Chains A and B, each alone.
Chain A
Amino acid sequence: GAVVSQHPSWVICKSGTSVKIECRSLDFQATTMFWYRQFPKQSLMLMATSNEGSKATYEQGVEKDKFLINHASLTLSTLTVTSAHPEDSSFYICSASGTSASTSTDTQYFGPGTRLTVL
């Protein structure tokens, strides 16, 4: 139990285009989802926290108009990188927490990540 998937696993796009990344909780209802960004040999940096049906809370320094987060259902959150540029190239990871027979609200369950390359 407690499986989180991400789609796509990798994406290459041209500068100026927008890219959407999906994060799904497959076997539990995710009341909270988190989006992280990871640069090579660096730690995971929290970008934003979203609760189902509410606007996301962004960390300081993260542009909310550039990184649009939608958490419209208890099993799906999306991150859209708008007008992507090469400096947005990174590894994006989502996680989810919620309650079920096999999960607890104080534990985050992570997706496998999405590699974004902007040319």
Chain B
Amino acid sequence: GNSVTQMEGPVTLSEEAFLTINCTYTATGYPSLFWYVQYPGEGLQLLLKATKADDKGSNKGFEATYRKETTSFHLEKGSVQVSDSAVYFCALRTGGGNKLTFGTGTQLKVEL
């Protein structure tokens, strides 16, 4: 079956630090990969996605590259801000449907 593994949080960084949140997956077929972000009190929002190997998704300074050889989709940002504090979920989707398989989420705390 499909599964997504994320690094446990919370991750605490100082403002302007470099961020990496690791995500690896197990899937049948060729999945599409996603990062969702959940700000306090809000619903999950799509942050970025990649649909095939070597694709790079990017949005709001965040990037993730679909690495088929290592089955990974690590999230990175060069300089985090306090406003980036949130919970980040890695997810995958296989087949033609719209069903998502999520990781456990990683809480990011950015301090001044």
Binding site for B on A (CB under 8 A): 4, 6, 32, 34, 41-44, 46, 49, 93, 95, 97, 105-113
Check B105 for interface membership: any CB of A closer than 8 A: yes
Complex partner residue of A42 from B38, B99, B104, CB under 8 angstroms = B104
Residues of B contacting A107 in the complex (Cβ-Cβ under 8 angstroms) = 46
The residue of chain B having its C-beta at the shortest distance from the C-beta of A59 within the complex is B99
The number of inter-chain residue pairs (CB within 8 angstroms) is: 43
A38 to B49, CA, bound (A): 22
B98 touches A111 (CB 8 A): no
* B4 within 8 A of partner (CB): yes
Q: Give the distance to chain B from A87, nearest Cβ to Cβ, in Å.
A: 20
Secondary structure call for the A interface: strand
- Taking a contact as CB atoms under 8 Å apart, the answer to whether A113 and B43 are in contact is yes
Chain A residue with minimal CB distance to B103? A43
A-B contact pairs, 16 of them (CB 8 A): A43-B89, A43-B104, A44-B100, A44-B102, A46-B99, A49-B98, A49-B99, A95-B43, A95-B44, A106-B98, A107-B46, A108-B46, A108-B100, A109-B43, A110-B36, A110-B44
Interface residue range, chain B: 10 to 19
Q: What does the 1/0 interface line of B80-112 toward A look like (CB < 8 Å)?
A: 000000000100000000111111110000000
CA distance A111 to B45 in the complex (A): 9
Q: Complex Cα distance A41/B9, Å? A: 9
| A97 with B98: CB separation less than 8 A | yes
- Whether B104 pairs with A112 at a CB distance below 8 angstroms is no
Give Cα A41 to B7, complex, Å.
Answer: 12
In the complex, besides A43-B101, A106-B98, 16 extra interface pairs with C-beta distance below 8 angstroms are A4-B43, A42-B104, A43-B89, A46-B99, A49-B98, A49-B99, A93-B44, A95-B44, A107-B46, A108-B46, A110-B43, A110-B44, A110-B45, A112-B41, A112-B42, A113-B43
